[in-house]
Structure 1
Amino acid sequence: MPRYFFHLCDGTEEIDEQGHELPDDDAARLEAIRYGGGLIQDDPALLLTDQNLRINVTDEERKLRFAIVMLAVDAGWQPQQGGPG
């Protein structure tokens, strides 16, 4: 089974040196979502500190396979006026 590494980027970088053996990219993607969800559940302020959380998932050759990005958007955001229509 391939080994995937889950690197946390939240204003700092935490490099995963061990990784996890998983059957494929789909399983790794689900694991990355679970990992991010667990981080937010344990410390909800983590997302608010830097307003984003990114988990870079790499393969055994340390090549980026995909990233999971969680964002906090300020409530003051407004859609742009004059869009297509």
Structure 2
Amino acid sequence: MTLSIRLDPELEAELARAAAQTGLSKSELVKAGLREYLARLKPRKTPYELGADLFGGTQAGPGDLAARRKAYLAESLRVKNDR
């Protein structure tokens, strides 16, 4: 697809300098910049979505773990010492 844009003289000069400095064409620089900008616009995952595989589900363990943590720890240590 061909796309035409109008640049103010300062932006055009900056683009030309960057193209000369990097050895890339002005079109390549514009495409790279547009890709980077659009990547930032993509919806980001929520903190929950990022850690969903780390959170417990229905098979996560006993539902009373917070209240009976010491008893569960003691049982776990006893089983380990019996081995």
TM-score (norm 2): 0.24
Q: Between Structure 1 and Structure 2, which shows a larger proportion of strand residues?
A: 1
Instruction: Determine which structure has more spread, i.e. the larger CA radius of gyration.
Output: 2
- Structure number with higher relative contact order (C-alpha < 8 Å, ≥ 6 residues apart): 1
